[in-house]
């Protein structure tokens, strides 16, 4: 099949509207002007008809997804061209549509539809060939459903840990400047390669919500603004908020600190709190920011029930949005203890590092009553004072400094510096566990540079080959792990089937 194209005017309003095709997934296609570099999502295609076969693969993906799919064409100079491809091989240029990313160089003054010469695309699969005949542009296809399995069958271009498959259950190309975020063990927030912020089902990759991306996904949490559920990304200067009850691809709203930039932002509690200088803090109280005083010498710790929280010797301080402060006793705090660091963890717990006679003691308490949950003495604080607790997606487990904190577990406080034995030793010696990711039931990290998986439910731990790529996260049931890897300067998120029941590389349980 030749590579010639014919151009026809775009259909009249009321017919198929390519802008209504879901913004996710986006297939990356190269080779329109570079026959030696034809690829689909990084997979090279060779031969004289390589580009037509690449288009056929895009059309086949569109058919799998219900009729149409977005495609980002990349020319030899690296310039991106947003398009939509239908299951019958129609290419719709959407670079100048108001809902599409702006092209990086001038485009024709009117949009056109590029039709594959001959009006048909040959598709081969499962040993058979099918012909997708040309469909008249005036015919309005049914609205395509959200994608079911974007990138199904993609090969991960990295070495996964043993027990993890190399072929993806689903995969999607992502923005190279952002890291996907597991929201609750069942959903993932990510920015696609065409700069759309989306939330997808963690098991299937199916689109659940989309919005206009802005900034990175660092410090991203789900929260409530007033009574509206929202996705929020925090910095020391502002909060970027997307309403999750809006399904019309909303642009974010930004709350900026009037004081400029805070010394730190606390994100471990339900609403964020910014620590300003000279015993002052501001926090998200309902739908606005409240500015409050932190009584000397208390330490700001977060928020609880729409009030700010601080900690002083033997007590926690409740500070309302109206700047009224009330002290509440914390049970069983060591005598003479002075607070060093303090954080509200989720809806109902408070963790405090205390200095007691020159050494550190950690206590965990319930809020608002202050009941003592657990205590651990002789803890070494090695990390930065700016470190924020890292939660599991379900909010039941936290990693903070060198501590594993699980308030509902039999052992709520565990020292990560002595949790696991040192690799290749038989003398019972331990080594620090450097945690890289926190899932609902699993920690991934390194023990003396050896990739390691620790099961929070059973306490079993497994070590893997040193060049294995650590997952970003695991699904709640542990059946999928998520690995971010790059191929041909293109970053993708891969959902890979996994089983860790019997590793063969010397892992220990």
Instruction: Identify whether 304 is part of a domain.
Output: no
Instruction: Identify whether 84 is part of a domain.
Output: yes
pLDDT at 9 over 70: no
pLDDT of residue 500: 82
Cis-peptide into 135, omega within 30 deg: no
Chain-centre distance for alpha carbon 443: 16
> 494 forms bridges with which residues in the sheet?
171, 483
Instruction: Identify whether 106 is part of a domain.
Output: yes
Q: 285-288 long-range contacts, Cβ below 8 Å, gap at least 24? A: 285/321, 286/225, 286/226, 286/321, 287/225, 287/226, 288/255
Instruction: Identify whether 389 is part of a domain.
Output: no
Helix (H, G, I), strand (E, B) or coil at 230: strand
Instruction: Identify whether 356 is part of a domain.
Output: no
Please tell me the distance from the alpha carbon of residue 507 to that of residue 112, in angstroms, as a whole number: 58
* Predicted confidence band of residue 6 (pLDDT cuts 50, 70, 90): very low
Please tell me the distance from the alpha carbon of residue 16 to that of residue 237, in angstroms, as a whole number: 43
pLDDT of residue 166: 95
6-10, 146-150, 392-396, range with the lowest pLDDT: 6-10
pLDDT of residue 134: 25
Per-residue pLDDT of 200-226, as tens digits, reads 999 999 899 999 998 788 889 999 888
* Average pLDDT of the residues of the chain: 83
* Predicted confidence band of residue 279 (pLDDT cuts 50, 70, 90): very high
Backbone angles phi, psi at 119, to 5 degrees: 75, 10
Q: 385-392 long-range contacts, Cβ below 8 Å, gap at least 24? A: 385/341, 386/264, 388/219, 388/266, 388/267, 388/268, 388/343, 389/268, 389/343, 389/345, 389/351, 390/435, 390/438, 391/268, 391/345, 391/346, 391/438, 392/185, 392/438, 392/439, 392/440, 392/441
Please tell me the distance from the alpha carbon of residue 172 to that of residue 86, in angstroms, as a whole number: 19
- Structural domain harbouring 116: 5-133
Instruction: Identify whether 85 is part of a domain.
Output: yes
pLDDT at 324 over 60: yes
38-47, 323-332, 362-371, range with the lowest pLDDT: 38-47
pLDDT of residue 48: 87
**What is the CA angle 385-390-392, rounded to 5?**
165
Is residue 261 within 8 A of residue 236, CB to CB? The reply is yes
Per-residue pLDDT of 153-194, as tens digits, reads 889 999 999 999 999 999 999 998 889 999 987 899 999 888
Helix (H, G, I), strand (E, B) or coil at 316: strand
Instruction: Give how many domains the chain has, as a whole number.
Output: 1
Rg (CA), the chain: 26
3-12, 124-133, 412-421, 436-445, range with the lowest pLDDT: 124-133
Share of the chain above pLDDT 90, in %: 54
Per-residue pLDDT of 459-468, as tens digits, reads 999 999 999 9
Q: 364-367 long-range contacts, Cβ below 8 Å, gap at least 24? A: 364/405, 364/407, 364/412, 364/413, 365/316, 365/330, 365/331, 366/407, 367/304, 367/309, 367/316
Please tell me which residue, 22 or 451, carries the higher pLDDT value.
451
pLDDT of residue 266: 95
Please tell me the distance from the alpha carbon of residue 146 to that of residue 65, in angstroms, as a whole number: 7
Break the chain down into helix, strand, coil percent, rounded to 5: 5, 45, 50
Please tell me which residue, 134 or 85, carries the higher pLDDT value.
85
pLDDT of residue 189: 95
pLDDT of residue 185: 75
Helix (H, G, I), strand (E, B) or coil at 56: helix
pLDDT at 109 over 60: no
Per-residue pLDDT of 490-502, as tens digits, reads 899 999 999 886 4
**What is the CA angle 244-247-253, rounded to 5?**
50
pLDDT at 11 over 60: no
* Predicted confidence band of residue 121 (pLDDT cuts 50, 70, 90): very low
Helix (H, G, I), strand (E, B) or coil at 405: strand
pLDDT of residue 398: 96
**Mean pLDDT of all residues in 398-418:** 94
**Mean pLDDT of all residues in 254-274:** 93
pLDDT at 25 over 70: yes
Please tell me the distance from the alpha carbon of residue 416 to that of residue 410, in angstroms, as a whole number: 16
Instruction: Identify whether 374 is part of a domain.
Output: no
Q: Which of 250, 252, 248, 184 is nearest to 216 (CA)?
A: 252
Instruction: Identify whether 505 is part of a domain.
Output: no
Full strand arrangement of the beta sheet holding 325-329: 299-304, 307-312, 315-319, 325-329
Q: Which of 489, 482, 488 is nearest to 170 (CA)?
A: 482
> 275 forms bridges with which residues in the sheet?
264, 281
**Mean pLDDT of all residues in 61-71:** 87
Full strand arrangement of the beta sheet holding 490-497: 170-173, 490-497, 480-487, 473-474
Is residue 328 within 8 A of residue 368, CB to CB? The reply is yes
């Amino acid at each position: 099949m030749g590579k010639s194209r014919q151009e026809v005017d775009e259909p009249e309003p009321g017919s198929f509207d390519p802008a209504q095709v879901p913004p996710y997934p986006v297939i990356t296609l190269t080779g329109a002007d570079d026959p030696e570099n034809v690829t689909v999502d990084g997979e090279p295609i060779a031969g004289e008809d390589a580009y037509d076969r690449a288009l056929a693969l895009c059309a086949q993906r569109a058919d799998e997804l219900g009729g149409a799919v977005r495609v980002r064409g990349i020319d030899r100079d690296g310039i991106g061209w947003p398009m939509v491809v239908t299951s019958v091989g129609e290419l719709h240029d959407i670079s100048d549509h108001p809902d599409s990313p702006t092209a990086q160089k001038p485009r024709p003054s009117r949009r056109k539809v590029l039709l594959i010469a001959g009006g048909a695309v040959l598709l081969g699969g499962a040993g058979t060939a099918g012909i997708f005949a040309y469909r008249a542009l005036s015919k309005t296809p049914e609205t395509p459903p959200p994608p079911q399995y974007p990138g199904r069958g993609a090969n991960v271009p990295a070495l996964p840990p043993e027990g993890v498959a190399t072929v993806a259950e689903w995969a999607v190309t992502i923005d190279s400047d952002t890291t996907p975020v597991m929201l609750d063990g069942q959903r993932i927030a990510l920015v696609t390669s065409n700069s759309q912020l989306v939330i997808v089902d963690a098991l299937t990759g199916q689109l659940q919500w989309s919005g206009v991306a802005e900034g990175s996904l660092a410090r991203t949490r789900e929260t409530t603004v007033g009574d509206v559920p929202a996705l929020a990304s925090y910095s020391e200067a502002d909060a970027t908020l997307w309403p999750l009850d809006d399904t019309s691809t909303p642009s974010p709203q930004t709350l900026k600190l009037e004081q400029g930039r805070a010394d730190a932002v606390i994100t471990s509690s339900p609403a964020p709190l910014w620590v300003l200088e000279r015993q002052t803090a501001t926090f998200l109280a309902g739908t606005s920011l409240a500015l409050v005083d932190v009584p000397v010498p208390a330490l700001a710790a977060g928020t609880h029930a729409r009030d700010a929280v601080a900690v002083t010797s033997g007590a926690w301080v409740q500070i309302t949005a109206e700047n009224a402060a009330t002290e509440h006793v914390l049970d069983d705090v060591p005598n003479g203890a002075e607070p060093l660091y303090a954080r509200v963890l989720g809806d109902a717990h408070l963790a405090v590092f205390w200095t007691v006679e020159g050494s550190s003691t950690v206590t965990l308490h319930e809020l608002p009553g202050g009941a003592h949950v657990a205590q651990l003495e002789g803890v070494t604080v090695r990390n930065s004072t700016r470190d924020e607790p890292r939660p599991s997606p379900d909010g039941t487990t936290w990693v903070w400094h060198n501590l594993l904190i699980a308030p509902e577990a039999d052992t709520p406080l565990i020292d990560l510096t002595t949790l696991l034995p040192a690799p290749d030793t038989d003398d019972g010696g331990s080594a620090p566990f450097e945690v890289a990711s926190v899932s609902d039931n699993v920690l991934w990290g390194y023990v003396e540079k050896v990739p390691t998986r620790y099961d929070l439910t059973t306490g079993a731990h497994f070590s893997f080959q040193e060049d294995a790529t650590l997952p970003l996260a695991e699904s709640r049931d542990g059946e999928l792990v998520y690995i971010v890897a790059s191929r041909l300067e293109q970053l993708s998120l891969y959902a890979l089937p996994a089983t860790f029941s019997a590793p063969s590389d010397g892992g220990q349980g």
